[in-house]
Amino acid sequence: MFKRTAINSAIVCFLAAGSAVAQEAQRVEITGSSIKRINAETALPVQTVNRAEIDRSGAQSVTELLQNLPALQGFTSSSESVGSGSGGFAGASIHNVGEQRTLVLLNGRRVASWAGQTLTGFGSGIDLNSIPLAAVDRIEVLTDGASAVYGTDAIAGVVNFILRRDLTEGAASLTHSVPKGGAGKSTNFSLTKGWGSLTDDGYNALVSLAMDRQTQLKAADRSFSKTGIVPFNYKGQSLVFFNGSIRSAPANYEVYNEAREFDALGNAYYDQNGSCPPTHVFRGGACRYDYSQALEISPEQARDSLFATFSKALGADHRLSADFAYNRYTMTTRIAPPPVDMQIPTGSTLYNQYMPGGAKVLVPDSVYGDDLYAYWRGVDVGPRVTRNETKATHFALSLSGSLSGWDYSSALTLSRNKWVSSYGGGWLLQNEQDAAIANGSFDPFLMPGQQSAAGISALDDMQYRNVFQTRTSALSALELRGSREIFKIGNRPAQLGLGVDFRKEDVESSPSLVAQGIGNNIAGDSSGEVPYDVSRKAYGVYAEVVLPVLETLELNAALRHDHYSDFGNTNNGKLSMRYQPSKVLLFRGSVGTGYRAPAVPQVAAGRQLYGVTGAGYNCPTEVLEALQQTNPSVRCRQGNTQYEQLASGNPELKPEKSTQWTLGFRVEPSTNVSFGADFWGVNVKDRIDQLTEDVIMANPGSYLKNFTTYDDPGTKQTYVALFIPNENLGKEKFLGLDVDARVAFNTSLGRLTTALQWTHMFKYDYQRLKNGPWFSNLGRFNDEEVTFKNLWKLTTVLKTGNAENTFAINYKSSYLDQPCTVADCGLVRVLNPDGSIGRTVGVTDRRVSSYLTVDVQTKYDITKAWSATVGINNLFDRDPPLSLKTVGGQQVGYDNRYTDARGRTVYARANFKF
């Protein structure tokens, strides 16, 4: 009764091949096992998305498709590249266990990790943007740890992309989608052609080409994102949320003299007009810039892909295959104009003009000799443009077949990923800026558009338009595995699988001289990135055995030994069972261990600047006093503002260790009805992470070790800064349930099939410190993220003659929003009846609404060769719910990581077979 379907947990490891018919059937490789088995329901849960479901989804990319599966959450979305430095990366995370713990495979082979990965471990997984959707035949998601077979790092599970092969026909597809308003359009074209039949001709070759383009979607294109001034109601109060920047246009000024305890912050435009200039809000003595109105919320993207495969039958029992994949993915992001802090040197032209005795005195009671600073927003130079390009090449040569009773498979994999980040307009150089300030050609206290010809020329000369940094990641791997029947228990064959593999990872970072801070640097950014070229070797050997101890009971055991060149030896095992008391009922379960070594840069990279905090904070006075004991010149920035963050690798890191288990059942009373549920749990100790800014700033006195100093190249001052190194923080505990159900029946209109996928999280608990108290973000925003309690997808398909109609509902549950207290946030204020902004208030228990969207699609087969598809995603144009989040990208007023800002999107597709 058990059949492989789209949503049921099919094809994993270790099924019995007991009957004579089964023994004669063709054996295939199964995700999660080294043993070739007959394809059927097995001991571990796998969710499969086939090509038909890919087409029904309306997804325009692998990223969009995979990240809409209920079993996946906690991943990085492409939208996070807007201002957060994620570099265009998008990953996969099963059950929120983590991108670094989710192993992504291409045709069952490892792929080089994303080259743009940072020293904190961000992006050390596989970039989904490097996999072309047009070339994918199906996706198999093993939602249980597979460390004993694939490698110790497969703690959360495996996502295996199976690309198209063994086709003889040709196919072309063109898709065009248009979100409401016309911005953010995408066009996708693919062409695939196969030649030869492996069975009839002894060979098969296939080539697939794809081109994808998407235009930018600006914050101004959507009502919920067009401004960072967000009014809302909370417990009967009219409030406003505003996460603005102290860097303004014209610049805010600060006049400072420590000796006479004089410190004045203000804005000349406000002083003269009694109000701030457009796109600014007065708060904390200064005009704050509404930077979110100048953002884009979905970047411009382009992808060009080539996939080619060739297979040759070497007699009846052996097969030689070669796969080659190339992908070039480019994301161009545009964020608000540059925020720059600068010191106006004593005696300079600008200083003499704006201090006492000059023509434009800023503060009447200041004296000549006081320090003068400008906090400026470079509206005159336009947005900061960054072009992130990732090129991925992947080659796998494999030989498989049967020899002396063994089913064997061997492979050589060479995979490379190169990431280049280049700066376009809007990025200013420090030396050129200092020179323009000193000679007076540029004046930050002027309104945008009022610079002189010399000022305009100076601003143009300041801009850095070149490669900023380059990183590469390479993987070389060899593997050999085989399986065979070793004896029989009754008439049921016991099977043995053996395997050995070797892989070498190389990661190189080559920042430009400007990125290293040699000779010059980006204005306000003294990151001083440190080049590195590091590698790791890993050897593994494993064995597994399948024991059909009864007609109804099968046991499986797997054991793996690995040696890491930098972390030594580890042994990990897995036990699983499959019990089928009747044709319609199956029980299954497993338990195993895992081990994840830190990413290479997490250990080797040196200390450097790592951006700024997402939110603004008031001065942590106890920290300032502690730092001033060793460096009296340290000071805090004025008012509620962002703080620099520094990070570093940590050679003292220990690997993460884990245990995973599953326990589930399936009921299939007929081929038309199926129901399954799998309980699962993952426990991790010595988890590798960094403390988050909100945790540190909420109780700075308890985290003195997480503060340091930062020498600002613009103001020439030393400020308090956060230090967030990689650490072994403590333990994590995950507990959840995956449910799927399917029912199909005939109606007067045609064949109707309804399927449900649902993931419910019971627990996600973690420790911020080793042996410390436990915390959770399950159903609440905590430590910069949310774990959703419920995610589900309900899909109904009606097949009528040549037409197929699809109706899908996608759901994410509500959660408690990011808390914003008066002390550690200060971004929420009372909205007075006259429209003015009043006192600061705290918002700590506000709920973000659940998020439900509806998609519809109709496909019609015009002829055997031609078909047409039209669809609408987010049919009812549901806007993202309000959120007060300040991390995960610069978007304000909603959480871009968990929603789709495009709104209602109409698409049309034409397919042609030849």
**Distance between CA atoms of 497 and 407, rounded to whole angstroms?**
9
Distance of CA 720 to the CA centre of its chain: 30
Tokens 């942590």 map to which residue?
Answer: 620
**Distance between CA atoms of 516 and 470, rounded to whole angstroms?**
12
Distance of CA 490 to the CA centre of its chain: 50
Query: Do residues 905 and 180 make contact, with C-beta atoms less than 8 angstroms apart?
Result: yes
**Distance between CA atoms of 124 and 130, rounded to whole angstroms?**
14
Burial of 278 (0-12, 13-18, 19+ CB in 10 A): exposed
Tell me the domain boundaries of the chain.
20-223+297-337+385-428+465-607+648-690+725-913
pLDDT of residue 615: 77
Q: What is the mean pLDDT of the chain?
A: 90
Q: Hey, is 703 helix, strand or coil?
A: helix
- In tens, the pLDDT along 614-644 reads 778 889 999 999 999 999 999 998 777 888 8
**What would the mean pLDDT of 550-557 be, rounded to a whole number?**
94
Query: Do residues 751 and 744 make contact, with C-beta atoms less than 8 angstroms apart?
Result: yes
Question: 719 - beta bridge partners?
Answer: 635, 710
| Buried/exposed code over 208-225 (b: 16+ C-beta within 10 A; e: otherwise) | bbbebebbbbbbbbbebb
Amino acid identity, position 113: S
Tokens (6 digits) for 390: 């990732």
Query: Do residues 458 and 474 make contact, with C-beta atoms less than 8 angstroms apart?
Result: no
| Buried/exposed code over 662-676 (b: 16+ C-beta within 10 A; e: otherwise) | bebebbbeeeeebbb
Tokens (6 digits) for 126: 């596989």
pLDDT of residue 433: 94
Burial of 111 (0-12, 13-18, 19+ CB in 10 A): buried
Higher-pLDDT residue of 72 and 132 is 72
DSSP state of 904: S
Distance of CA 839 to the CA centre of its chain: 37
**Distance between CA atoms of 692 and 289, rounded to whole angstroms?**
25
Rg (the chain; Cα; Å): 29
Q: Is the pLDDT of residue 611 over 90?
A: no
Amino acid identity, position 753: T
Query: Do residues 13 and 32 make contact, with C-beta atoms less than 8 angstroms apart?
Result: yes
- In tens, the pLDDT along 441-491 reads 999 999 999 999 999 999 999 999 999 999 999 999 999 999 999 999 999
Show the CA angle centred on residue 255, arms to residues 254 and 256, nearest 5°. 110
Per-residue pLDDT band at 77 (split at 50, 70, 90): confident
Neighbours of 207 (CB within 10 A): 17
Tokens (6 digits) for 292: 């979110």
**Distance between CA atoms of 738 and 678, rounded to whole angstroms?**
5
**Distance between CA atoms of 30 and 36, rounded to whole angstroms?**
7
Tokens 């797997």 map to which residue?
Answer: 558
Q: Helix axis angle, 430-439 relative to 453-462, nearest 10°?
A: 160
Task: Tell me the H-state helices in 132-267.
Answer: 147-150
CA distances in angstroms from 537 to 78, 302, 507, 562, 689, listed in the order given? 31, 34, 12, 10, 23
pLDDT of residue 67: 86
- DSSP assignment of 624-671 equals HHHHHTT-TT-BPPSSSB--EEEE---TT---EEEEEEEEEEEEEEET
Q: Is the pLDDT of residue 687 over 80?
A: yes
Nearest to 331 by CA among 214, 489, 465: 214
The shares of helix, strand and coil residues in the chain, as percent rounded to the nearest 5, are: 10, 50, 40
- In tens, the pLDDT along 653-676 reads 999 999 999 999 999 999 899 999
**What would the mean pLDDT of 254-261 be, rounded to a whole number?**
86
Per-residue pLDDT band at 30 (split at 50, 70, 90): low
pLDDT of residue 10: 32
**Distance between CA atoms of 164 and 132, rounded to whole angstroms?**
11
Tokens 């920290």 map to which residue?
Answer: 623
**Which pTM was predicted?**
0.90
pLDDT of residue 391: 97
**Measured distance between the N- and C-terminal CA atoms of the chain, rounded to whole angstroms:** 36
Question: Quick one: which H or E segment has residue 462?
Answer: helix 453-462
20-223+297-337+385-428+465-607+648-690+725-913: CATH topology is Maltoporin; Chain A (2.40.170)
pLDDT of residue 29: 55
Per-residue pLDDT band at 762 (split at 50, 70, 90): very high
Question: Quick one: which H or E segment has residue 481?
Answer: strand 466-489
> Is the backbone peptide bond immediately before 444 cis, with ω within 30 degrees of 0?
no
Q: Is the pLDDT of residue 586 over 50?
A: yes
